[in-house]
């Protein structure tokens, strides 16, 4: 079958005749020649297209329509059991020089990877539709936005991209004006022979998620799940965008964005980077427990930060939706998220109730008496396996969140940046960095403990610098250096303060010392008061701690001993941690910025070593 024989649907004059789209048309033709789809559809992003594709996927058994009275315009997808999460071992950074990828990325020589991918993509879309999806990260035409085009043979990916990005034909106007666009190629790797029946979740056991930093390309093969298939998310918005930011003087970060509003009406804008399972989404949709304070959501996962002409650091959420982990999301942990999911949502790998609604562990205190689990099997509370896969997801427009800020698509000036990890020991509830370089040192050394909290010692640390370990598109040490350079572009008086928080410190009995969740607003309040200069702080070897009387603990039944332990700084334990940091820095050799080595030396001096 020649390219001329492929059925090209719904292509209007904007695509076929505009001179500015010749390069895009040529690229689509090249991909089609390689992958051999049955037809090509240019995605316009209209409601009619979305409804028609949803109906098609239901008819094909790829989506289950939920009870429209309980969950309007919502669907359930069930993936193959072998395709349920990111595949970091098969994620590659194909930079021209191996050293530019660094020791924390999987590197592959670009030319040989291209040859390998040509082999697996050849004919990979036979019998399927290739969708061409133009999309914008950030508001279309926004000053901090970037655009891309994803081709994919997954209708599920198309619908999800329609939620997670600004996808549609208006992006073509940006490309036609000559602006740079990122190329993203995705195939589930399951070609269909003539007359062959399809399956509900086509995929391939051989998987690749490949980024080419120099040419700004993404190629993904074999998986239809999450960030493996939604190439605008981690692959573009972090791995490729981090390289764009390095080259253009800005930062692409795995961060939430919120606005904290005081009783006096002052607005504070925070970004926060936490590794997985550290309360990121909960903080993004926080409902403060202290009177008079409120939080508005701007984003729950990714932020792009750019120095402004005013010397401040400005941020946008480049995404349009939330792709959240379902288990553990419930009325008691994140009521705002639950309220967001009232409709217009795609759920993946959760349980299905007899009434045609969804359920997962943690959604309610009491499990349904029986339902159908994520693999389509009967389930009861006595079953040996969970109803929902631990990495089951919901995909929903950010605009539906009750906490979403009215101006959430606009850039905001940052007042504070928070770093956190899951630390049972050592790290206090909150500490303020002494300056920008010290804050970068804190971000570079973020970690979570692998050992049980009851052991009460600094055990093996799982490093996740800036919560970017799986997502930085270049050498992590160079990334630290870039953070230092960006700091130099800011007005020192206007740069955001940097803080480390830890909701997870434990006492000798193994229990958490801090209640967390909505009570974390008390920590945010202290940070806001520090920003406005209305509270003081206690200097320590690791940074500035709260004066106990100035941290609002009213209404909390916290024993004085627990509060003391929350802020205890043990020099011997911190010296051991400094040793571990020195070992970690050694992985990166002489690429570690001198400023961070000086911060480590300064920490040792302040600890009395």
pLDDT in tens, 14-57: 576 678 899 999 999 999 999 999 999 999 999 999 999 999 99
Task: State how far the Cα of 290 lies from the Cα of 337, in Å rounded to an integer.
Answer: 20
Domains of the chain: 3-61+90-249 (3.40.449.10), 253-320+408-606 (3.90.228.20), 322-400 (2.170.8.10)
> What integer pLDDT is reported at residue 278 of this predicted model?
83
**What is the structure's pLDDT at 452?**
35
Query: 368-411 pLDDT, tens per residue?
Result: 999 999 999 999 999 999 999 999 999 999 999 999 999 999 99
Q: Is the pLDDT of residue 6 over 70?
A: no
Q: Which active-site residues does the annotation give? A: 278
Q: Quick one: pLDDT at residue 453? A: 31
Q: Are 420 and 274 in contact (CB under 8 A)?
A: yes
Task: Using only the alpha carbons of the chain, give its radius of gyration.
Answer: 24
Q: Output the average pLDDT for the chain.
A: 94
pLDDT at 18: 78
Asked whether the beta carbons of 552 and 535 are under 8 A apart, the reply is no
Is residue 217's pLDDT more than 80? yes
Give me the half-sphere count of Cα atoms (radius 13 Å) on the Cβ side of residue 94. Answer: 24
Q: How many percent of the chain have pLDDT more than 90? A: 92
Calpha distance 530→551 (Å, rounded): 11
The residue-averaged pLDDT of 541-569 equals 95
**What's residue 599's pLDDT?**
98
Average pLDDT of the segment spanning 572-588: 96
pLDDT tens for residues 50-102?
999 999 999 999 999 999 999 999 999 999 999 999 899 999 999 999 999 99
> Tell me, what's the pLDDT at 609?
65
Q: What's this model's pTM, rounded to 2 decimal places?
A: 0.95
Q: What is the pLDDT of residue 451?
A: 39
Contact 221, 202 (CB under 8 A): no
pLDDT tens digit sequence for 252-281: 999 999 999 999 999 999 999 998 778 899
Residue 455 has pLDDT above 50, yes or no: no
């Amino acid at each position: 079958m020649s390219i001329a024989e492929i059925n090209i649907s719904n292509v209007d004059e904007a695509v076929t005749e505009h001179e500015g789209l010749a390069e895009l048309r040529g690229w689509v033709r090249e991909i089609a020649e390689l992958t051999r789809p049955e037809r090509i559809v240019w995605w316009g992003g209209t409601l009619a297209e979305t409804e028609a594709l949803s109906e098609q996927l239901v008819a094909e058994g790829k989506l289950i329509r939920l009870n429209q009275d309980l969950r309007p315009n919502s669907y359930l997808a069930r993936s193959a059991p072998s395709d349920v999460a990111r595949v970091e071992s098969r994620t590659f950074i194909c930079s021209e020089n191996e050293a530019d990828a660094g020791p924390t990325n999987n590197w592959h020589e670009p030319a040989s990877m291209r040859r390998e991918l040509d082999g697996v993509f050849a004919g990979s879309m036979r019998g399927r539709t290739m969708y061409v999806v133009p999309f914008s990260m950030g508001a279309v035409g926004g000053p901090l936005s970037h655009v891309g085009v994803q081709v994919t043979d997954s209708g599920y990916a198309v619908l999800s991209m329609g939620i997670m990005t600004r996808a549609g034909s208006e992006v073509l106007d940006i490309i036609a004006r000559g602006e740079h666009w990122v190329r993203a190629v995705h195939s589930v790797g399951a070609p269909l022979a003539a007359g062959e029946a399809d399956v509900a979740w086509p995929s391939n056991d051989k998987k690749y998620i490949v980024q080419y930093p120099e040419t700004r390309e993404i190629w993904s093969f074999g998986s239809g799940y999450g960030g493996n298939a939604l190439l605008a998310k981690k692959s573009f918005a972090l791995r490729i965008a981090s390289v764009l930011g390095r080259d253009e003087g800005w930062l692409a970060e795995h961060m939430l964005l919120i606005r904290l509003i005081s009783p006096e009406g002052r607005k504070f804008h925070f970004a926060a980077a936490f590794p997985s399972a550290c309360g990121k989404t909960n903080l993004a949709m926080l409902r403060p427990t202290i009177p008079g304070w409120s939080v508005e959501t701007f984003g729950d996962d990714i932020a792009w930060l750019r120095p402004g002409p005013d010397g401040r650091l400005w941020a946008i959420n480049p995404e349009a939706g939330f792709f959240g982990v379902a288990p553990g999301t419930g009325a008691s942990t994140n009521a705002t998220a639950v309220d967001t999911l009232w409709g217009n949502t795609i759920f993946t790998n959760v349980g299905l109730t007899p009434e045609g609604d969804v359920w997962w562990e943690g959604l309610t205190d009491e499990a349904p008496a029986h339902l159908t689990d994520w693999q389509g099997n009967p389930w009861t509370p006595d079953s040996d396996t969970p109803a929902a896969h631990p990495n089951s997801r919901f995909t929903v427009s950010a605009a539906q969140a009750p906490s979403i800020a009215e101006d959430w698509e606009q850039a905001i000036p940052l007042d504070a940046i928070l770093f956190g990890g899951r630390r049972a020991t050592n790290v206090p509830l909150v500490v303020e960095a002494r300056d920008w370089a010290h804050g970068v040192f804190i971000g570079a050394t973020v970690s979570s403990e692998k050992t049980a909290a009851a052991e009460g010692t600094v055990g093996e640390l799982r490093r996740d610098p800036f919560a970017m370990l799986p997502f930085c598109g270049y050498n992590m040490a160079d990334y630290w250096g870039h953070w230092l350079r960006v700091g130099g572009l800011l007005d020192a008086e206007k740069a955001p303060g940097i803080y480390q928080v830890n909701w997870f410190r434990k006492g000798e009995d193994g229990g958490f010392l801090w209640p967390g969740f909505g009570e974390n607003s008390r920590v945010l309040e202290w940070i806001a008061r520090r920003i406005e200069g209305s509270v003081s702080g206690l200097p320590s070897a690791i940074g500035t701690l709260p004066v106990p009387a100035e941290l609002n603990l009213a209404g909390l039944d916290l024993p004085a001993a627990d509060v003391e332990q929350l802020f205890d700084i043990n020099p011997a334990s911190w010296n051991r941690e400094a040793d571990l940091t020195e070992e970690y820095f050694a992985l990166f050799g002489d690429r570690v910025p001198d400023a961070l080595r000086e911060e480590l030396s300064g920490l040792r001096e302040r600890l009395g070593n």
